[in-house]
C-alpha cells in the first residue's frame, strides 16, 4: 500500500493506460478460445483509449505544481510497452499473422519498442533543453504510433479479412510462412529505433 500511496494523479492515468493494454491482450486470447468477434472489437477500442490515458498522464504531470513521482518515467515506459508494443503484436497474431516469419516480425517490433523506450529514458537528460528541462524531440518514432497499425487491423476486421483472408496473402519462405502484412510491424519497429529520425516532442 505504501507504493500505491506514492502514486500521483498522473501515475494513476499511466496505470489506466497499462490496464487497457493488458485487458486488450486478454480479450485477444479469449477470442482465440471462443471465436467471439466482439472481443476483438473491444480490444481494438481499448488501445486508442490507452493512448488517451497516455496523453493525459503527461498533461496532468505538467500541470502538477506539487510533488513529481519518481516512478512516473518508468511507469510510463512500461505501460507503453504493454499497450503499444505487446498488445498490437498480439492483435496481429490473433487476426492471422501466425506464420513463423510473422512471429519473428512481431517479436522484432516489440523488441524495437522496448529498445526505443529504454534509449529515451537513458538519453532524456541529454536531449532536454537546458532552460526548461523539457525534451525537445524524439529520436525515432514514438511507440504509440503503433495505433496506426491497430487502426488498419480494425479495418481488416470490419471487412472480414482476418485469419486466412488477410490482405496480400501469405507465402511460404523456406521452413515457415510469411504474411507480407507483417512487414508493417518491421517498418514500424525500424522507424522507432532510428537514430537519424527526429520528431519534435509536443
Q: What is the mean pLDDT of residues 118-137?
A: 67
How many CB atoms neighbour CB 126 within 10 A? 7
Residue 128 has pLDDT above 60, yes or no: no
Tell me: the pLDDT tens digits for 39-70? Answer: 999 999 999 999 999 999 888 877 765 555 56
SS3 128: strand
Q: Calculate mean pLDDT across residues 74-89.
A: 96
CA distance 177 to 25: 23
- Say which CATH number the domain at 143 has: 1.20.120
Instruction: Report the pLDDT value the prediction gives residue 7, as an integer from 0 to 100.
Output: 75
CA distances from 7 to 10, 14, 76, 122 (A): 8, 10, 12, 22
pLDDT of residue 119: 87
Query: How far is the C-alpha of 106 from the C-alpha of 112, rounded, in Å?
Result: 10
Lowest average pLDDT, out of 4-13, 16-25, 114-123, goes to 4-13
> How many domains would you assign to the chain?
1
Q: What is the residue range of 177's domain?
A: 2-200
- Is the pLDDT at 130 greater than 60? The verdict is no
Rg (CA), the chain: 18
pLDDT for residue 153 is more than 90: yes
Q: What confidence score (pLDDT) does residue 127 get? A: 61
Query: Cell 482465440 belongs to which residue?
Result: 32
- Write down the pLDDT at residue 137: 67
Name residue, grid cell 481488416. Answer: 156
Amino acid at each position: 500500500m505504501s507504493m500505491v500511496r506514492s502514486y500521483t494523479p498522473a501515475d494513476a492515468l499511466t496505470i489506466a493506460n497499462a490496464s487497457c493494454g493488458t485487458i486488450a491482450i486478454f480479450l485477444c486470447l479469449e477470442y482465440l478460445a471462443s471465436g467471439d468477434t466482439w472481443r476483438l472489437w473491444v480490444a481494438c477500442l481499448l488501445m486508442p483509449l490507452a493512448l488517451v490515458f497516455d496523453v493525459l498522464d503527461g498533461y496532468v504531470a505538467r500541470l502538477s505544481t506539487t510533488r513529481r513521482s519518481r516512478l512516473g518515467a518508468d511507469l510510463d515506459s512500461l505501460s507503453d510497452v504493454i499497450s503499444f508494443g505487446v498488445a498490437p503484436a498480439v492483435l496481429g497474431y490473433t487476426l492471422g499473422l501466425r506464420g513463423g516469419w510473422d512471429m519473428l516480425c512481431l517479436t522484432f517490433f516489440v523488441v524495437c519498442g522496448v529498445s526505443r523506450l529504454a534509449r529515451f529514458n537513458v538519453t532524456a537528460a541529454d536531449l532536454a533543453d537546458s532552460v526548461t528541462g523539457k525534451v525537445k524531440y524524439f529520436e525515432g518514432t514514438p511507440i504509440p504510433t503503433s495505433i496506426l497499425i491497430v487502426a488498419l487491423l480494425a479495418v481488416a476486421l470490419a471487412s472480414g479479412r482476418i485469419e486466412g483472408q488477410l490482405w496480400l496473402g501469405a507465402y511460404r519462405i523456406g521452413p515457415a510462412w510469411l504474411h507480407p502484412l507483417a512487414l508493417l510491424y518491421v517498418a514500424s519497429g525500424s522507424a522507432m529505433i532510428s537514430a537519424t529520425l527526429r520528431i519534435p516532442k509536443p
